[in-house]
Amino acid sequence: GAGVSQSPRYKVAKRGQDVALRCDPISGHVSLFWYQQALGQGPEFLTYFQNEAQLDKSGLPSDRFFAERPEGSVSTLKIQRTQQEDSAVYLCASSASRGSDGYTFGSGTRLTVV
C-alpha cells in the first residue's frame, strides 16, 4: 500500500482483556518499529524488527506485551491482561533501510482500557 496501515483505529478493552493490534507496513520495508504514545507525550520506543527478526524489545514495558512479525511483513502487537495504564496510542513505523532514519508512521491505534 501507499502508507503504513494500522488496525483497528480505535479499541476499547475491559481491564484484564487481551488485545491484538495489527500493522501493515509499506511493501518491501525491512525495518518495523512499534511506539507507545501517551496523551500529550512524545512516542516511546517499544520494539524493532528487521525483517522477521525482533532485534530489540528493550522498550516493552512488561511481559504482558508481545510483538511478532513472522513473515517479515505484517506485525502484531499483543497486550495480555490489559491495565488502565496501557491506554495510549500505539504507533507502527516502517523503513526501507536498516536504520531508524526516514521512516513512515501509521496513524496509530488508540487503545482505551476501561
Partner 1 sequence: QQQVKQSPQSLIVQKGGISIINCAYENTAFDYFPWYQQFPGKGPALLIAIRPDVSEKKEGRFTISFNKSAKQFSLHIMDSQPGDSATYFCAASRRAGGGADGLTFGKGTHLIIQP
Binding positions for partner 1, rule: CB under 8 A: 4, 31, 33, 35, 40-46, 48, 50, 55-56, 59, 91, 93, 95, 98-108
The smaller minimum CB distance to partner 1, of residues 62 and 107, is found at: 107
Task: Report the nearest approach of partner 1 to the CB of residue 16 (Å).
Answer: 28
Task: Report the nearest approach of partner 1 to the CB of residue 91 (Å).
Answer: 5
Can you list the positions of beta strands (E) in 2-87? 5-7, 10-13, 19-24, 31-37, 44-50, 53-56, 65-68, 75-79
The smaller minimum CB distance to partner 1, of residues 47 and 82, is found at: 47
Task: Report the nearest approach of partner 1 to the CB of residue 15 (Å).
Answer: 25
Q: Tell me the C-alpha distance between 87 and 10, whole Å.
A: 11
Cα 62 to the center of its chain, rounded Å: 14
109 closest CA partner among 12, 3, 1, 41? 12
The smaller minimum CB distance to partner 1, of residues 17 and 50, is found at: 50
